Structure 1
């Protein structure tokens, strides 16, 4: 199941933004690799991606976590990650640097990114 996060929840589950002055020095707080979908309710491509992420959250349950952040409700969080276009998808591996991809992707592209980047 995809979990929607507020700024406070994000800081407890993903990154504590007050601990770092630059996003490159953040320490991931989760116990599984994660995908964070930065979206807005009015965004057509975001609405296309949402059911794909729901399916992937089910298929990879126990292996990855899928979060979403509404950029209109959490503008400070969007600004902290430099979100300028949506959907913006943040892939967070257990070790290594997170990677941001922008725009809607088909399900097979998400699966490839999960397999090659998050679960390798």
Structure 2
């Protein structure tokens, strides 16, 4: 019986060490994604996480009713890297950001990295494009939209001309 005692103890210690290493690694990954800040890509499109979303768009933890924090109307793109229509929409949004420079702001939210944010706003279809006017409630559209449709929505919902 003594022959089996030490290998069993060593096995339990090894399993405990591996489990501890994996859980501490998962925690550090989680911390990295939640503390990331807003980042601006080459086209002026700003990528948001939950913290920067509250700062630039809407602080849903403080406010019960919609209160847009921005200075210009916005387009929110809830997307995922693996989503084909999202990939097709991205260059359209970059073009619109450049063409409407200073008149609108395009924000992108990666739903795989910001699951809580996507869940809070009930995002179930990708891409989900939310048009946020300075006054009034935001309006959402699901799926890929060609540039001409986007320009029409910018004009009608956001009340912005080129």
TM-score (norm 1): 0.95
Q: Counterpart in 2 of 1:44?
A: 84
Q: Counterpart in 2 of 1:2?
A: 45
- Distance (Å, rounded) in 2 between the aligned partners of 1:20 and 1:42: 32
- Distance (Å, rounded) in 2 between the aligned partners of 1:34 and 1:15: 11
Deviation at 1:17, TM superposition (A): 1.0
Q: Counterpart in 2 of 1:19?
A: 62
Deviation at 1:67, TM superposition (A): 0.3
- Distance (Å, rounded) in 2 between the aligned partners of 1:76 and 1:89: 17
User: Which of these residues, 82, 85, 92, is aligned with residue 122 of structure 2?
Assistant: 82
Q: Counterpart in 2 of 1:114?
A: 154
Q: Counterpart in 1 of 2:135?
A: 95
Deviation at 1:119, TM superposition (A): 2.0
Uncovered stretches (5+) of structure 1, i.e. residues with no partner? none
* Bigger helix share: 2
Relative contact order, CA 8 A, sep 6+: which one is greater? 1
Uncovered stretches (5+) of structure 2, i.e. residues with no partner? 1-43
Q: Counterpart in 2 of 1:63?
A: 103
- Distance (Å, rounded) in 2 between the aligned partners of 1:115 and 1:59: 13
**Would you say how many aligned residue pairs link Structure 1 and Structure 2?**
117
Deviation at 1:116, TM superposition (A): 1.3
TM-score (norm 2): 0.71
> Any conservation in 1 of the 2:66–2:137 contact (CA below 8 Å)?
no
Question: Can you list the C-alpha shifts for 1:69-99, whole angstroms capped at 9, x where unaligned?
Answer: 0000000110011000100001000001100
- Distance (Å, rounded) in 2 between the aligned partners of 1:66 and 1:16: 18
